[in-house]
């Protein structure tokens, strides 16, 4: 894998972990997610005149992605509502690259090779191991939270594949990404008002600065990933994105004051080992 693409996707993973941490800034989870989605759309919109609109052939994929992203936002916020970020986040993100790898290799005939497969499995194993921590004991992990986390993983795999194909068909990853975020923002704004009423606007107002930081991070993270999926195998990019759990764990320890346990250290070693194997792919 090209070094520049590899480093770019790792940077995107750091941005992704950042906006997932921002979602905990005090608002109710759905409202916070909606604020970030709307802010992402606002950040993306001024770029439309520069990157253009994707061709008609890409729009069915883009619309499907918006539907999957709405499912992702709803699943993620419900998972956060009932579980700890440090457990929900790794479960959701750890399952997704395995699903994506299986589907992309079978449906898209993307060759990963033995080293690539081992790297993805080791990385996913490290991400799952990272979930064995948190404010709740693992034996008391909320089944509802796990269910929503696994549903979220399905939506992540779905939109990763859809956007990889859509951006390739568009022939312009930047136009596709910007249009996707603008559409996402519009849909989430409508959904937020439909679910919470117009009172959601004053509820968001005190958090607009944090919301725009999260929105900018979210936009940067996935814009880079969409571009990367046009120049590298979708499964590899999807797996590398999930290293965001490492950055999420660092945020949890350094900023949120959560304990650094042996399982976290072991998980980090596994994730780095998986990264090394993927880099050698």
Residues 6 or more apart whose CB falls under 8 angstroms from that of 182 comprise 41, 44, 45, 48
Q: What's the pLDDT at 134?
A: 46
Q: What's the pLDDT at 194?
A: 92
Q: What's the pLDDT at 104?
A: 84
State the pTM of this model. 0.85
Residues 6 or more apart whose CB falls under 8 angstroms from that of 205 comprise none
Is the pLDDT assigned to residue 185 strictly greater than 90? yes
Contact 17, 251 (CB under 8 A): yes
Q: What's the pLDDT at 139?
A: 47
- Percentage of the chain lying above the pLDDT 70 cut: 87
Q: What's the pLDDT at 94?
A: 77
Is the pLDDT assigned to residue 90 strictly greater than 60? yes
DSSP string of 14-48, one letter each residue? HHHHHHHHHTTSSS-HHHHHHHHHHHHHHHHGGGH
Q: What is the mean pLDDT of the chain?
A: 84
Token digits of residue 246: 């490492």
Q: What's the pLDDT at 219?
A: 94
Contact 184, 69 (CB under 8 A): yes
**Distance between CA 125 and CA 201 in Å, rounded?**
41
Domain ranges of the chain: 3-280
Say which DSSP state 255 is in. T
Question: How confident is the model over 189-223, as pLDDT tens digits?
Answer: 999 999 888 888 998 888 888 889 889 999 999 99
Is the pLDDT assigned to residue 106 strictly greater than 90? no
Question: How confident is the model over 227-257, as pLDDT tens digits?
Answer: 999 999 898 898 888 777 777 777 767 766 6
Residues 6 or more apart whose CB falls under 8 angstroms from that of 151 comprise 71, 75
Looking at per-residue pLDDT, the higher value among 94 and 214 belongs to 214
Contact 226, 177 (CB under 8 A): yes
Is the pLDDT assigned to residue 77 strictly greater than 70? yes
**Tokens 């929900």 correspond to what residue?**
88
Say which DSSP state 141 is in. -
**Distance between CA 207 and CA 34 in Å, rounded?**
12
**106-110, 152-156, 268-272, range with the lowest pLDDT:** 106-110
């Amino acid at each position: 894998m090209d070094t520049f693409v590899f480093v770019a996707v790792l940077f995107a993973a750091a941005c992704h972990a950042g906006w997932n941490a921002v979602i905990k800034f005090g608002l109710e989870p759905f409202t916070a997610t909606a604020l970030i989605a709307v802010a992402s759309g606002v950040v993306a919109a001024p770029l439309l005149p520069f990157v253009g609109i994707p061709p008609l052939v890409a729009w069915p994929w883009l619309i499907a992605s918006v539907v999957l992203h709405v499912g992702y936002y709803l699943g993620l916020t419900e998972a956060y509502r009932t579980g700890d970020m440090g457990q929900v986040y790794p479960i959701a993100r750890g399952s997704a690259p395995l699903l994506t790898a299986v589907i992309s290799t079978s449906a898209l005939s993307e060759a990963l090779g033995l080293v690539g497969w081992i790297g993805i499995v080791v990385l996913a194993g490290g991400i799952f191991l990272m979930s064995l921590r948190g404010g709740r004991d693992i034996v008391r992990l909320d089944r509802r939270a796990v269910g929503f986390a696994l549903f979220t993983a399905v939506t992540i795999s779905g939109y990763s594949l859809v956007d990889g194909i859509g951006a390739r068909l568009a022939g312009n990853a930047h136009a596709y990404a910007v249009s996707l975020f603008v559409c996402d923002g519009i849909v989430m704004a409508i959904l937020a008002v439909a679910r919470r009423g117009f009172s959601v606007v004053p509820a968001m107002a005190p958090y607009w600065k944090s919301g725009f930081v999260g929105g900018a991070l979210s936009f940067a993270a996935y814009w880079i990933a969409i571009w990367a999926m046009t120049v590298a195998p979708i499964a590899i990019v999807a797996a590398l994105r999930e290293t965001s759990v490492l950055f999420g764990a660092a945020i949890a320890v350094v900023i949120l004051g959560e304990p650094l346990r042996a399982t976290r250290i072991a998980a980090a070693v596994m994730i780095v080992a998986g990264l090394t194997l993927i880099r050698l792919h």
